Homo-oligomer: A and B are copies of this chain.
Amino acid sequence: MNKNTFVVIMAGGVGTRFWPFSRAEKPKQFLDIIGCGKTLIQLTFDRFKEQIPTKNIYVVSNERYKNLIKEQLPGLAEDQLLLEPFQRNTAPCVAYASYKIASKNPEANIIVTPSDHAIFNDAEFMRTINTALVTSASSNKLVTIGIQPHKPETGYGYIQFMDEGEQEEVKKVKTFTEKPEQELAKKFLESGDFVWNAGLFVWQASSIIKAFEKFDKDNALLFKEIGEAYYTSQESIKVEQAYAQAKNISIDYAILEKADNVWVVLGDFGWSDLGAWDSLYELREKNEEANVIEGNVTTYDVKNCIINGSNKKLIVVEGLENYLIADNGNSLLICKRGNEKQMRTIVKDVKLNKGEEYL
């Protein structure tokens, strides 16, 4: 890859689905969810650093995570760290990074990636990314990565593609679909022309800027105006002003669902968005009793459980099956496994009735 290729790692999310393991002050991208000794954002960075110049890897995140990022990615220069004063979904985040990079390098090709997903075959992943880069670099195509689905998952968005396309694995997008009900998800899977939306995008800076100026003029203008202040001491003040007015909207909704030059590259590199405790159960090593255990834990007659603690605390559990136990800081959660809806209720209730300090 050449010096025109940039990576934008989106790391501003406040994941609460691993609560209380992930916390507002340290969301999942900054945790070693996989149990491999590296955090998800470190794994994301490492995935690209062999092929993309380190100085071209940018991170967009909330100001509150500045120190966490510097700690976990010490190789980043100040200029590569794009700090958002408020959380404003992905459209402002992509607009900010795109106008900033384009102001330095109008020829830039940009890979946009989440910071909190798991990818199991990095080589195959980079092969897919390269296909997307080749596809977008010679055209104004906005390219997404679609994951070959292997079950009727209701927790993901889907992309439907058309048969149009020169290559087997590069397809024109027909529609984006929000998380479907079980029955619809089964139909998607059977139809063969739906793939999971992994939130991975590849395009030229100029292509996405053109799309912003067509479909999301307000956000486009805010970040275009910063202009020559990018890469100067004025940037943070100007960005703060822009965010104060920025629309809270996703890149999918603002651009991709509206544009007609969206393509998808089909990928099959082992992927999980790590959206819930059970995805952690699936990918972690199980002990003889099929428990996933982290921390200083003793069990008696415990099966199929996730027990997530730390070495500072002894956790003794007796007589449980299919439960989640997560102890972190000022919060302890004990609940049945596999009920994502209940989990969302719990986190909502905690926020409402107990206060932000527990999230």
Chain A residues in the interface with B (C-beta under 8 A): 296, 298, 300, 309, 312-320, 323, 325, 327, 330-336, 342, 345-346, 349-350, 353-354, 358
Contact = CB atoms under 8 A, between A and B. Distances in A.
A298 B309 CA distance: 20
A317 B298 contact: no
Contact of A332 (B319, B327, B354): B327
A312 B330 contact: yes
Contacts of A345: 300
Nearest to A335: B318
A353 B298 CA distance: 10
Nearest to A318: B335
Given A331-B313, A331-B314, A336 B349 contact: no
Nearest to A313: B330
A310 to B, nearest CB: 10
Given A330-B313, A354-B314, A298 B336 contact: no
6 contacts: A300-B345, A312-B330, A314-B332, A318-B335, A318-B336, A319-B323
A289 to B, nearest CB: 15
A18 to B, nearest CB: 14
A333 B302 CA distance: 13
A308 B201 CA distance: 49
B313 A350 contact: no
A212 to B, nearest CB: 42
Most chain B CB neighbours (cut-off 10 Å) among A300, A313, A314, A336: A314
Contacts of A350: 298, 314, 316
Contacts of A320: 334
Given A298-B349, A349-B298, A354-B296, A316 B331 contact: yes
Contacts of A315: 331-332, 334
A318 B342 contact: yes
A300 to B, nearest CB: 7
Given A300-B346, A349-B298, A354-B296, A330 B314 contact: yes
